[in-house]
Amino acid sequence: MNNDPVDSQLIQRIKENPKYKELVAKRAGFAWFLSIIMLVIYYAFIVLVAFMPKSLGTKISPDSVISVGIPLGVLIIVMAFILTGIYVSRANGQFDELTRQIKEETK
Amino acid sequence: MMRLSGTLLAALLGFWSSVGWAADAAKPESSLNMTAIIMFFIFVAVTLGITYWAASQTKTTKDFYAAGGGITGFQNGLAIAGDYMSAASFLGISAMVFAKGYDGLIYSIGFLVGWPVILFLMAEQLRNLGRYTFADIVSFRLSRVPIRTLSAMGTLFTVILYLIAQMVGAGQLIRTLFGLPYEYAVVSVGALMILYVAFGGMIATTWVQIIKAVLLLTGATFIALSALNHTGFDIELFFRTALESIKSSGLADHKKAVAENKDIFAPGGLVTDPVSAISLGLALMFGTAGLPHILMRFFTVPNAKEARKSVFYATGFIGYFYILTFIIGFGAVMMVAPNPQYIDAAKGTLMGGNNMAAIHLAHATGGDLFLGFISAVAFATILAVVSGLTLAGASAVSHDIFANAIRGGRVDERTEVRVSKFAALGIGMIAIYLGIQFEKQNVAFMVGLAFAIAASANFPILFLSIHWKNLTTRGAVVGGTLGLVTTVVMVVLSKTVWVDVLGNKTALFPYKDPAIFSMTLAFLGCWVFSKLDNSPQAAAERALFEAQSVRCESGIGAAGAAKH
């Protein structure tokens, strides 16, 4: 019941539309780029936790008790939020505009 | 159905009137209990009112499973946050920060970083390809019966484990906070979630989650601000005072940390070896992307644009919440740990267990009234999460198993909704029964196991079906089953179950978190068996990938919002 009969000619037309190719390439590139940034940030943190836990305990300044791990942890959380914001603003703007044009042209 | 609701309601009222009596009987704490009980009753009255209204709006399967597809991105973001921020995160993570310091933050970060990845690689695809359950997406081009059955198994395993953990936690929490017997607490939670889901479907569930998210974020903000206010919002002084307070703490964990000269602001003993660290990281990050009750929320918005916005708002709310739990944890170190009033000296823990850190801090900063409010919020939190879980489990039974695998998609909407309601009742009963059976067991491992199954069984097949053309039914079934079975076996043989629960001397599997092995096996299974699959069916499935990706990218042919 999920496989609605999608018009195969329509699919063909969309696939051959240069803007569709542009959309797929741009979106996939951007999505994977941001995913890799997130993965690198997170697993770099995990590797620090696993192999060099002491390094995260270094104080941010000699007269402070706060360790670098605390602002770093908060920064990772904030980064995650910022990355989603970057993706959403581009996808809801540029990518959706391309999608709209593709739909218009392949009607 | 109406008679059923009458019976449930009567049972519920019966339980609550006996609660009032029990609270009176337990004189010393009755004043604080009353605030909490009154606030809780207001929450229950409002949510039951919403359920009554939602029931009149719920006519079609789309209404029942997906709230008619008319939830906005912002509302859904709040509801996702309400679905995801369980009492386990609120009480558990703040307690972990309280007892172990920095280690709690490692969990918070892991629970959060899955969200951006869901957004980049799955959210809009889910919205454009799916309708009610994540199995819709996998069976877009793969064979219906085996895939639906496998996905439903993955869903039910995840949901039941998660539910047991929530039910046991709810029973213990409510017993401590309200002085209500454990069984009554579990039955009340179960009865309420059955009412919300069976009558109000996704509409009621969504609003319960939204209200709970607002209450929890407000409550946690107040606790955190009050704690920061204690040192005049001087962050340096805040951590310095916490570091001082730990020396006069009555907590066994803190005494040990002081004796061993441990740095509570650095990673400690929670993550002991690199394999466990990476394995835990994988389970937390990709488990989120395979939780059926979370994935289901993406079908409640009208289009991909709102689906993306949902994740943006949800990530913001959840991230903010985890920063609050970190402040609350250290706030409790500062204001709760040195105060003998909150310490159970005999056990070396907090009164009612270390999970009460946030609750005691609410009392320390805002007195009885605030304690009552936070207790009610904690209860509301549990209700919202178990409702989401029950709905996800019910839709796996009615939509995946009954309507698609058994009836081959030929079933009218009314029947499907009715099956779903009975499935919600059934799952609720199972959850109540198991919740009572597991009272004395250590269930902490169950949430971890649910995440590991979600990461090793649900996530690989969902992810590959969206992004990898060559996935075939055979590959998905082998890979998904491999992921599911190995996760369960490895967890049972690990220290958490084999030693801590079953009482054996040594663990047969050395690591606490299996994800690094079980996820790898699942992906390998999918890959090898898809590659080796040269059947005509496999060729047809690969050929369908193009139609799938066009719909996935453009949203053409995706289910829209209901028109009413």
Q: Compute the 3-state secondary structure of chain A and give helix, strand, coil in percent, each to the nearest 5.
A: 80, 0, 20
Q: Which of A81, A83, A92, A101 should one mutate to test binding to chain B, selecting the residue with the greatest count of B CBs within 10 A? A: A81
Residue A2 predicted with pLDDT over 50:
no
Touching A: B residues 26-85, CB under 8 Å: none
CB B376 within 8 A of CB B43: yes
Residue B31's pLDDT is 46
Q: Residue B316: which of A42, A81, A92 has the nearest Cβ?
A: A81
**Cα–Cα distance measured from residue A87 to residue A92, given in angstroms and rounded to the nearest whole number:** 8
Supply the pLDDT for residue A5.
52
Q: What is the pLDDT of residue B48?
A: 96
Reported ipTM: the value is 0.93
The string of pLDDT tens digits covering residues A8-66 is 788 888 888 899 999 999 999 999 999 999 999 999 998 898 888 889 999 999 999 99
Task: Please report how many Cα atoms fall inside a 13 Å half-sphere around the Cα of residue B90, on the Cβ side.
Answer: 36
> Rounded CA gap, B395 and B417, in Å?
9
- DSSP class of B356: G
Per-residue confidence (pLDDT) for residue B190, from 0 to 100: 96
For B109, which of A23, A65, A77 is closest by C-beta distance? A77
Judging contacts by C-beta atoms under 8 Å, the chain A residues touching residue B316 are 81, 84
Q: How many CB atoms lie within 10 A of CB B28?
A: 8
The predicted-structure confidence for B216-256, as pLDDT tens digits, reads as follows 999 999 999 999 999 999 999 999 999 999 998 989 889 98
Q: Tell me: the pLDDT tens digits for B366-398?
A: 988 898 899 889 888 999 999 999 999 999 999
d(CA B212, CA B215): 5
Cα–chain center distance at B494: 23
- Chain A CB within 8 Å of residue B117 CB: yes
Please, which residues 71-90 of chain A have a Cβ atom closer than 8 Å to chain B?
73-74, 76-78, 80-81, 83-85, 87-88
Please enumerate in sequence order all residues whose Cβ is within 8 A of that of B226, keeping only pairs 6 or more positions apart, or say none: B331, B365, B366
Candidates B381, B384, B293, B341; CA nearest to B94 is B381
Tell me if chain A has a CB within 8 Å of the CB of B105: yes
> Closest to A91 (Cβ–Cβ): which among B102, B308, B322?
B308
Using DSSP bridges, classify how beta strands B343-344 and B349-350 pair: parallel, antiparallel or unpaired: antiparallel
Query: N- to C-terminal Cα distance for chain A?
Result: 24
Q: What is the pLDDT of residue B561?
A: 52
* Shortest CA distance from B405: residue in chain A: A1
Give the dihedral sign, CA A34/A39/A40/A41: positive
The residue ranges of chain B whose pLDDT is under 50 are 1-5, 7-9, 11-31, 562-564
Neighbouring CB atoms inside 10 A of B234's CB total: 12
CB contact under 8 A, B121 and A43: no
